Amino acid sequence: MQQANWHSSCSGNPGVILLVEDHDIYREVVRAALGKYLPHFDLVAAESVAAALPILHSRKIDVMVVDMTLPDGSAIDLLEQCGHFVQQGVKVIVLSSHSISDMVPVLNRSDVHAYLSKEQGLKALAEKITAICSTEAPELPALKEQEPALTQIQ
Protein backbone atom coordinates (compact mmCIF):
# COMPACT_ATOMS: atom_id res chain seq x y z
CA MET A 1 0.00 0.00 0.00
CA GLN A 2 1.31 3.39 -1.00
CA GLN A 3 -0.06 6.80 -0.19
CA ALA A 4 0.21 10.18 -1.82
CA ASN A 5 -0.17 13.46 0.02
CA TRP A 6 -3.08 15.25 -1.59
CA HIS A 7 -5.08 17.13 0.94
CA SER A 8 -8.71 18.13 0.48
CA SER A 9 -11.76 17.09 -1.46
CA CYS A 10 -13.84 19.00 -3.94
CA SER A 11 -16.03 20.29 -1.10
CA GLY A 12 -13.01 21.90 0.57
CA ASN A 13 -12.80 19.35 3.38
CA PRO A 14 -10.10 16.71 3.62
CA GLY A 15 -11.08 13.81 1.37
CA VAL A 16 -9.65 10.39 0.70
CA ILE A 17 -9.94 8.17 -2.35
CA LEU A 18 -9.30 4.45 -1.96
CA LEU A 19 -8.16 2.95 -5.26
CA VAL A 20 -8.47 -0.84 -5.36
CA GLU A 21 -6.62 -2.02 -8.48
CA ASP A 22 -4.47 -5.12 -8.84
CA HIS A 23 -2.34 -4.08 -11.83
CA ASP A 24 0.68 -2.17 -10.50
CA ILE A 25 1.34 -0.11 -13.63
CA TYR A 26 -2.29 0.87 -14.14
CA ARG A 27 -2.61 1.73 -10.43
CA GLU A 28 0.37 4.11 -10.76
CA VAL A 29 -1.08 5.66 -13.93
CA VAL A 30 -4.39 6.28 -12.11
CA ARG A 31 -2.50 7.70 -9.13
CA ALA A 32 -0.60 10.14 -11.35
CA ALA A 33 -3.71 11.19 -13.27
CA LEU A 34 -5.80 11.75 -10.16
CA GLY A 35 -2.91 13.69 -8.65
CA LYS A 36 -3.08 15.98 -11.66
CA TYR A 37 -6.86 16.26 -11.95
CA LEU A 38 -7.76 16.12 -8.24
CA PRO A 39 -4.76 17.51 -6.37
CA HIS A 40 -6.80 18.18 -3.24
CA PHE A 41 -7.46 14.53 -2.41
CA ASP A 42 -5.41 12.01 -0.47
CA LEU A 43 -5.10 8.77 -2.41
CA VAL A 44 -4.63 5.40 -0.77
CA ALA A 45 -4.17 2.30 -2.91
CA ALA A 46 -4.78 -1.40 -2.37
CA GLU A 47 -4.22 -4.31 -4.72
CA SER A 48 -6.94 -6.67 -3.48
CA VAL A 49 -10.09 -7.10 -1.40
CA ALA A 50 -7.97 -8.32 1.52
CA ALA A 51 -5.70 -5.26 1.33
CA ALA A 52 -8.62 -2.82 1.04
CA LEU A 53 -10.52 -3.95 4.14
CA PRO A 54 -7.92 -2.84 6.76
CA ILE A 55 -7.71 0.56 5.04
CA LEU A 56 -11.48 0.96 5.30
CA HIS A 57 -11.26 0.16 9.00
CA SER A 58 -8.38 2.54 9.70
CA ARG A 59 -9.20 5.63 7.60
CA LYS A 60 -12.22 7.67 6.70
CA ILE A 61 -12.70 7.03 2.98
CA ASP A 62 -14.87 9.32 0.87
CA VAL A 63 -14.70 7.55 -2.49
CA MET A 64 -13.72 3.98 -3.39
CA VAL A 65 -12.65 3.34 -6.97
CA VAL A 66 -12.70 -0.42 -7.35
CA ASP A 67 -11.60 -2.57 -10.27
CA MET A 68 -14.29 -5.13 -11.03
CA THR A 69 -11.89 -8.09 -11.15
CA LEU A 70 -9.38 -8.54 -8.34
CA PRO A 71 -7.06 -11.46 -7.54
CA ASP A 72 -9.05 -12.47 -4.45
CA GLY A 73 -12.55 -11.60 -5.60
CA SER A 74 -14.46 -8.81 -7.26
CA ALA A 75 -15.80 -5.35 -6.58
CA ILE A 76 -19.05 -7.03 -5.52
CA ASP A 77 -17.16 -9.19 -3.00
CA LEU A 78 -15.58 -6.07 -1.53
CA LEU A 79 -18.95 -4.33 -1.33
CA GLU A 80 -20.47 -7.35 0.40
CA GLN A 81 -17.74 -7.21 3.03
CA CYS A 82 -17.76 -3.45 3.60
CA GLY A 83 -21.42 -2.54 3.20
CA HIS A 84 -21.57 -0.62 6.47
CA PHE A 85 -18.98 1.84 5.15
CA VAL A 86 -21.17 2.56 2.14
CA GLN A 87 -24.09 3.12 4.50
CA GLN A 88 -21.89 5.65 6.31
CA GLY A 89 -21.42 7.64 3.10
CA VAL A 90 -18.54 6.08 1.18
CA LYS A 91 -19.23 6.55 -2.52
CA VAL A 92 -18.33 3.68 -4.85
CA ILE A 93 -17.18 3.81 -8.46
CA VAL A 94 -16.59 0.51 -10.22
CA LEU A 95 -13.88 0.71 -12.86
CA SER A 96 -13.58 -2.07 -15.41
CA SER A 97 -12.61 -3.12 -18.89
CA HIS A 98 -15.64 -5.43 -19.03
CA SER A 99 -18.42 -4.54 -21.46
CA ILE A 100 -21.41 -2.67 -20.11
CA SER A 101 -23.63 -5.72 -20.69
CA ASP A 102 -21.36 -7.75 -18.39
CA MET A 103 -21.71 -5.06 -15.75
CA VAL A 104 -25.52 -5.16 -15.42
CA PRO A 105 -25.41 -6.92 -12.00
CA VAL A 106 -23.14 -4.16 -10.72
CA LEU A 107 -25.09 -1.32 -12.29
CA ASN A 108 -28.28 -2.51 -10.59
CA ARG A 109 -26.75 -2.34 -7.10
CA SER A 110 -27.83 0.57 -4.92
CA ASP A 111 -24.39 0.72 -3.28
CA VAL A 112 -22.62 1.45 -6.60
CA HIS A 113 -22.76 5.15 -7.36
CA ALA A 114 -21.09 5.03 -10.77
CA TYR A 115 -19.53 2.71 -13.33
CA LEU A 116 -16.75 3.73 -15.64
CA SER A 117 -15.12 1.76 -18.40
CA LYS A 118 -11.33 2.02 -18.33
CA GLU A 119 -11.57 2.99 -21.99
CA GLN A 120 -13.35 6.22 -21.04
CA GLY A 121 -10.11 7.53 -19.61
CA LEU A 122 -8.85 8.97 -16.37
CA LYS A 123 -10.14 12.50 -16.89
CA ALA A 124 -13.64 10.97 -16.99
CA LEU A 125 -12.85 9.15 -13.73
CA ALA A 126 -11.80 12.42 -12.09
CA GLU A 127 -15.03 14.03 -13.31
CA LYS A 128 -17.09 11.16 -11.83
CA ILE A 129 -15.30 11.48 -8.50
CA THR A 130 -15.92 15.22 -8.46
CA ALA A 131 -19.59 14.72 -9.32
CA ILE A 132 -20.33 12.11 -6.66
CA CYS A 133 -18.36 13.77 -3.87
CA SER A 134 -19.90 17.18 -4.33
CA THR A 135 -21.91 18.03 -1.23
CA GLU A 136 -23.17 21.31 -2.52
CA ALA A 137 -26.79 21.32 -3.58
CA PRO A 138 -27.35 22.66 -7.06
CA GLU A 139 -28.22 26.31 -7.04
CA LEU A 140 -31.86 26.80 -7.86
CA PRO A 141 -33.04 29.98 -9.52
CA ALA A 142 -35.21 32.18 -7.31
CA LEU A 143 -38.89 31.80 -8.02
CA LYS A 144 -40.46 34.92 -9.45
CA GLU A 145 -44.04 35.65 -10.15
CA GLN A 146 -44.51 35.49 -13.83
CA GLU A 147 -44.96 38.91 -15.27
CA PRO A 148 -47.62 39.21 -17.89
CA ALA A 149 -46.18 39.47 -21.35
CA LEU A 150 -46.58 42.96 -22.71
CA THR A 151 -47.15 43.30 -26.37
CA GLN A 152 -47.30 46.51 -28.22
CA ILE A 153 -50.18 46.95 -30.55
CA GLN A 154 -49.42 49.27 -33.35
- Longest Cα separation, the chain: 79
Distance CA 130, CA 62 (A): 11
Distance CA 45, CA 31 (A): 8
Residue 75 lies in a domain: yes
Q: Is the pTM for the entire model greater than 0.85? A: no
Residue 72 lies in a domain: yes
Residue 142 lies in a domain: no
CATH number for the domain spanning 122: value is 3.40.50.2300
Number of domains in the chain: 1
Distance CA 76, CA 105 (A): 9
Render pLDDT for 47-87 as a digit per residue (tens, 0 to 9). Answer: 999 999 999 999 999 999 999 889 999 888 898 888 777 77
